[in-house]
Structure 1
Amino acid sequence: MNAQLRREQDLAYEASLAEDRAKVAAREAQQRSAALVAEQLAKDAKRKEDLKKAHINRKRIWQSRLPPPPKFEEGSTVQLSFKMPRGSRVSRVFNLNDSIKLLYYFVLSQDDSPTEFEVQSNFPKRIIPCQPFEESDVEDYIDTPDNKMDCDEPEVITDWSRKCQNDPPSFFNIGLTRPEMLFVLNKDA
């Protein structure tokens, strides 16, 4: 009888111990899972903040790299106006022989420019293919130890002629030769 009671107590103890171990293991698994979720949320928040800073860096860089507009001269320049997505308007004079990537960077450098946009003309209604091939991703503007985004000494770009096959065409070649209103469309909207 004592031996059987002892066995029952040992079995009850083992069962209780196994149950306690299972609870501890479940608690540890839950804590690991919560830590992984918290780590992922922190990474996502950092990435969002990095992208926000990258958009600001990109805008600042291009604000400092654009040359002043040329003087208006009939036949060699064009005055274009832009209606931004929030309703504001800006305008600039462009050389007809410059690549329309200058138009892209001009719009990009505006304070109320959307992060992703297209430029549209109304007559004829079409999207102006002004985004440069090399302007592929805002991630190129993330400030990292290997990639310092320094805008303190801007290098103004003065030659906006078409350099290669991938460059957008000139204002003249695409037909932007007369004053007109272009519309900036927010691709993120």
Structure 2
Amino acid sequence: MHHFFSIAFSLLAIIGQHVSVQTTERRSERSSSRIISLLSVENGGRWGTLRTKSMCPDGTYATGFSLRVEYPIGDGDDTALNGIRLYCADRSRGVISSIESETGYWGQWTDVKWCPSGYLSAFQLRVESPQGAGDDTAANNIRFRCSDGSELEGDGTPWGYWGNWSPTCKGTGICGIRSQLEQPQGNGDDTALNDVWMYCCA
């Protein structure tokens, strides 16, 4: 259970998210025709709702990622993985922009993990199953496979288990993201990010 002092921070974050989502929607409309496959996994958490997808600019693909993570807080309400940010680069490996679907309000952003070459092309989630009367965290961490065959593991939290890998991209690489996010629960049990979908472009 998060304390009252986080409410003001959450309101500020919501305002910031609103501005970010407006930009994301315009980018999605411009780039949706490039999508040729959708990647998902079977072990995502069950809470929250699907949020607006966010797409890399035309001609760019995700070559790296960072996570927003709330690390274990002891005697309190853990939320673990709160968000995923993708870094979009062109074929010369020049980073053009970063994108994210909506993100939870707790934690901090980790350092960026980069593919040695190529682009992100598949992913795997670490998810904690429902805890009953205990503290639920849902998604805890993510791994990506790059098109060069290398694997990158995020700096997430240790609860739960790794599920199966998603299918591999049809096309050049991952070019967009859409999250399933639970809103703050007030005095209830927060889980933040529960599941994620990745889009692949030609």
Fold conserved between structures, TM > 0.5? no
TM-score, normalised with respect to structure 1 = 0.30
Q: Which has the higher strand share?
A: 2
TM-score, normalised with respect to structure 2 = 0.28
Larger Rg: 1
Q: Which has the higher helix share?
A: 1
